[in-house]
Amino acid sequence: MSKLPLLINWFKEHKGTVTAFSGGVDSSLVLYVSKLALGEQAIGLISNSESLKSKDFEIAVKFCQKHDITLKVIKTDELNDPNYTANPANRCFFCKTHLYEAMIDIIKAEYPEYTILNGTNLDDLGDYRPGLEAAKNHDIRSPLAELGINKKDVIAMASELHLETAAKPPSPCLSSRIPYGTAVNSIRLNQIEQAEYILNQFGFNNVRVRHLGEEASIEVPVSDIQSLKNQFDLISKDIQDLGFSKVLIDQEGFVSGKLNRVLHG
């Protein structure tokens, strides 16, 4: 049974909403349904910072244009925050704090009485996500999680609504490719983005390039590893041209959140 009516009904108690939008399927669903329920009182907001892939920013902008949703674009300043750039295990807390504080300033000035939302779903609550603490500190609402809607439900509803983001692979921020304790800066973020773009050009869509100092470690699904090996000479040369001395293939394959393993001993 679809949970879509439940989600639409959630918005009825709100005068208007501003959704922290990333272009991913979770926040796309929240933003789209907010527009169904509230019309012009549904706003999206995205931070076009260095840690967001330019490709994901373009997807987000096109999504809002297609569905006639107002999108506010800001640029948060986390790369000037030493708490963030030191890349501690709770890096996401500082990033989301910058985002939510900027959103609150905008809401107070332009959309008083609107509620700030994010795309956190029920499954996210069981993962290590320091950004959730920042959301709690700033009274950000999470309609998906509040209604017990998990990732499987999200994809089902997005498909039901024919949203173009329904099949979009997860794309966390570029900083998540840098091991904790290694400084985050614009040079490293750009290297990661360009390396993943190279892999996209060779036909690999679900990829991660982990920035291991002088080395770039490529993760693709296990089913794609042989294809990657077949094209590796060309790919590794292009990636080395970005400033890496060595390019590796992670034989384990693509695993979301792999760098979080150090946190669990």
Active-site amino acid positions: 173
Q: Is 181 helix (H, G, I), strand (E, B) or coil?
A: coil
Angle subtended at Cα 70 by Cα 40 and Cα 150, rounded to the nearest 5 degrees: 85
DSSP characters over 89-110: TTHHHHHHHHHHHHHHHHHHHH
Tell me phi and psi for residue 70, to 5 degrees.
-70, 125
- DSSP-based three-state secondary structure for 141: strand
Q: Rounded to an integer, what distance in angstroms lies between the CA atom of residue 91 and that of residue 180? A: 8
Three-state DSSP state, 215: strand
Q: Is 122 helix (H, G, I), strand (E, B) or coil?
A: helix
Distance CA 142, CA 32 (A): 14
Question: What single DSSP character describes residue 132?
Answer: H
Q: How big, in percent rounded to 5, are the helix, strand and coil portions of the chain?
A: 50, 10, 35
Residue 134 buriedness (CB in 10 A; 0-12 / 13-18 / 19+): buried
H helices present in 161-261, as ranges: 186-201, 225-230, 232-240
